[in-house]
Amino acid sequence: MTEKTQAQIDAEAKKAEAAQAKADAKAKKDAEAQAKKEAADAKKAEAAAKREAENKAKAEKREAEAQAKAAKREEENKAKAEQRAKEAAEKAEARKAEGAEAKAKREAERAAAKQARIDAVAAKKQKRKDDAAARAEAVAARREATKGEGRRTKATHIVYTGAGLSSPQAVSVRGNVLAWIKANCEVGAEVSIDTVAAGCKSVLYGGNVRSYLSKLEEMGHLDFVTVEPEQEPATDAA
């Protein structure tokens, strides 16, 4: 084996020193780079923490504001609900009062209508009584004024008055006789009893027309008159 010369040894030593220096420089550079990186990471972490803290604070502020708004809305809604409830209660009370007033009014109107009907019925009854009394007085007066069978027996004619104190049934003989007189005799005109008898023959059923005329005369539907032959009109009403 060949021994190294001093020059080789020195060269190798220098080479080793250079390599070590290079390695040291690299180590230093790597350490500085690592330090810079760690500083940058620390700065980023600090910035991120700051942003996170700021975002958290903002979020908390927004949450607080949202809660405050929600609480305000809830309070407003509660106040509105209470106001609506109050208004509804007032309206219900007003409707109740109106209903009670309307009911009282209806009851008063029904009572008034009932009393009016009672009064009307009483008035009609009283009127019927008064009319009946007046008719009875009129009939009595008429009978008194027309008293005397002889006068009726001597009568030759009737005079239709257009009035009367009775309303004979239309289906009765007297009603049929009166209907014939109304249809065939002028008010105030003298019509012979014989003419009336002939005209009413179909409804007399063999009866004497004078008996029916007497009842009609008593009630004021006609008057009996006696016409002497020379005074008798040339023609009678048919």
Q: What is the pLDDT of residue 158?
A: 94
Q: What is the pLDDT of residue 238?
A: 42
Contact 203, 173 (CB under 8 A): yes
| Successive 10-residue mean pLDDT values, the chain, 238 residues | 80 89 90 91 90 91 93 93 94 92 93 93 86 71 62 84 90 95 95 95 92 92 87 50
Q: What is the pLDDT of residue 1?
A: 56
Sign for the pseudo-dihedral over CA of 189, 190, 195, 197: positive
Q: What is the pLDDT of residue 148?
A: 56
Q: What is the pLDDT of residue 222?
A: 94
Q: What is the pLDDT of residue 142?
A: 67
Q: What is the pLDDT of residue 113?
A: 94
Q: What is the pLDDT of residue 221?
A: 94
